[in-house]
Chains A and B, each alone.
Chain A
């Protein structure tokens, strides 16, 4: 039926809103929906062909109705596509703002695939980037834009958390080796399996990137 796939896409979008990460881009469905739209469009042109551009709806109400239905289906599909992409774009933008590195995630998942071995088919689906190439490009450019915007005010971290910190110092535990990081006052070597009591400001970024775990 017309519109079924569109509905599926919207359901995906709805589900995406409550997920912590972005699920893989549904390129199959998107392609099917666009194909459907193209088919509908072809139908419409076929219907209109015999009239040679002089179609009067009042004379042929049946044809007019069929054209209307075709048109509405196309509009609906378009709305579904837009809705799906908007949800994803918003999620991508939010990721850019929260500072988590999209491209790094892609790399990490690719590594996982490499480790898992090529033989496993299921790993391929989950392991590949969850962004479509266009989305990746969008994310990159949006990130550049954001960086340029932030660059104007170097003393304010626009992407920082809006919640005021409750403590100046916090306990963090190192989940993976992060090497040496430079802070305002010197270097800290973050080695796995140790716990630090450090200034929150120094490590906020690393917490967001998942290197450190904050303890309450």
Chain B
């Protein structure tokens, strides 16, 4: 079942009415990414205002989800609602969580106890259709995709899932192959089809079969598109808040940060062309711009420009051409629109460093080579910025330079193919304690999630960067024969997820604490430095290999290996590499871009973390259908298939479908299997 946007508020009212007023009967399961974090913050804000007790539990992967089910969901009579933030959309959640509350009675207790309701708020696509159209307490928050796109598929799905003469043979939903073969993920939640007396006429049966085939192919084609992302869920929850009339600057800020974080880790919203806006005449080219537009309006509405001081939120006003780095008054916590450069953390770094480490600029200028660096120096020289000025902290740069930065950058950027280096962004001040742009906050929170707090980083760092792994997928369990290593790995896994959870809380706290954000700034810088370093090394040493159907980069040595054991850090690296390769290929006038697979060694556990990315999610192709399909990542499926067809020891545990872990020794076999799959259309 799904909840369309207009009904969010009534769903919330339902939640409020049925939640226990003194005991935590709501369980929030939160994935470990920035967007989910922001969403959790927004939702808890709302719940707190209503004095609804609740419980937040961060979940790192599918294995942990099962643990949560064992510990917190199964047989928990107090529980009324499970809200999954940023997880569960891809799998049949009812198979993971025991939503039939009570003592195992599936049918028997129907009347007695209320069922547990499960809300899925997830930006990952494709939706598992059992979540959307299944019976039971699963409700998906719909950003419009389901309503727009799925009715047709849903019809087919419903038909298929109803009892028929033959059990389902094909059309596997993207069941994530999870280690224990007995894992419920593979089982469909529906009761086994009872034999219905088939209509006697042969003709009818044939007709039925044809119909089935048609619907099956519809459903299958939905699943085989790959994986992609819908709207950021923090935005969805913000619209819930605004439906309730409770939006404020804090919540808006969280929504903005959630959106910005998506851009950083390359989670472009690729669920389709911009929606036809109802009433508002938005002219935007992408869905993302559209959401940006909505948020921009909200910013204007909630932060009316002060009357007397000149042009505060006036977009192209003179005063706004230099970046805002300080608040206007000690109590100034407004969000403002401000020009934003595609360099990160500029307010807290030097202009030079910020430009050097930006993935947008770095890849366009070929920063990994000596000529690339020269190109950057040349650009600065043309702009009339001396290097010594650029290398000092931005806040201490010459005022004149700061004022003219935007204008000169816009003038010279096109010479280097840097169009769009300046765009509109959001910045917020916390009195005189600091000013951060939304993208900066997203970087910092991402850094915290991946590397942990600075102080503890020195020794936990290496461990903090790795995912909890449940167990290896498919046939793995038998492969791990002797018990000792298994135990050891399990312990290591547990330690890893432990440190990730600690990172989660550090990030959770920092999200509303400007001081913590400021102290975490160096973490974010370290991460971007590591990306630049590793990326440069890989390209310089020509370690990116070209295989039959994809490119491959393996990080297994160097100072940053432990950093990239975290899948989302690795994704950032993959994004950087991807853009760099794309630039190179564009120069060679290549039309077809092979996707990129990046693997990184996790020494502690002896596994490779593998991430698959499609290149050029934002390539503007002439072909409309290609454009529509671009950015759909088909690695998720390919990984699944390889997991089934080879006997490499693989574990698919992360909620991200495009992340897998492969035993160190089995990487070659895994890649071999992968190269036979077509991940490109």
B-binding residues in A (CB < 8 A): 168-169, 173, 183-189, 191, 193-199, 202, 215
Contact = CB atoms under 8 A, between A and B. Distances in A.
Interface stretch (B19-27, B83-91, B306-314): B19-27
Contact of B55 (A168, A194, A202, A215): A194
A189 B71 contact: yes
Contacts of A191: 57, 71-72
A197 B55 CA distance: 6
30 contacts: A168-B51, A169-B53, A173-B505, A183-B22, A185-B23, A186-B20, A186-B22, A187-B78, A188-B24, A188-B78, A189-B72, A191-B57, A193-B58, A193-B498, A193-B501, A193-B505, A194-B55, A194-B58, A195-B55, A195-B505, A195-B508, A196-B54, A197-B24, A197-B48, A197-B54, A197-B55, A198-B23, A198-B53, A199-B53, A215-B509
Which of the listed residues A169, A173, A195, A198 has the most CB atoms from chain B within 10 Å of its own CB?
A: A195
Contacts of A193: 57-58, 498, 501-502, 505
Given A168-B51, A197-B48, A185 B57 contact: no
Given A173-B505, A191-B71, A193-B58, A198 B51 contact: no
B13 interface: no
Given A169-B48, A189-B76, A196 B23 contact: no
- DSSP class of B's interface residues: helix, strand, loop or mixed? mixed
Contacts of A186: 20, 22-23, 77-78
Interface of A is mostly: strand
A196 B53 contact: yes
B24 A198 contact: yes
Interface string B17-61: 000101110000000000000000000100110011111111000
B82 to A, nearest CB: 13
B75 to A, nearest CB: 10
Interface residues of B, number: 26
Nearest to B56: A195
A166 to B, nearest CB: 14
A194 B71 CA distance: 12
Contacts of A202: 22
Contacts of B76: 189
A195 B48 CA distance: 13
Interface string B110-127: 000000000000000000
Nearest to A169: B51
Given A186-B78, A191-B57, A199-B22, 9 more contacts: A183-B23, A189-B72, A193-B502, A193-B505, A194-B58, A195-B55, A195-B57, A195-B505, A198-B53
B44 A197 contact: yes
A185 B22 CA distance: 7
Contacts of B502: 193
Contacts of A194: 55-58
B137 to A, nearest CB: 20
A194 B58 CA distance: 7
B22 A197 contact: no
A181 to B, nearest CB: 11
A197 B47 CA distance: 9
B25 to A, nearest CB: 9
Nearest to B58: A193
A184 B57 contact: no
A167 to B, nearest CB: 9
Nearest to A168: B51
Contacts of A169: 48, 51, 53
B22 A184 contact: yes
A198 B44 CA distance: 12
Most buried by B among A185, A188, A197, A202: A197
Contacts of B52: 197
Which residue, B51, B55, B501, has most C-beta atoms of chain A within 10 A?
Answer: B55
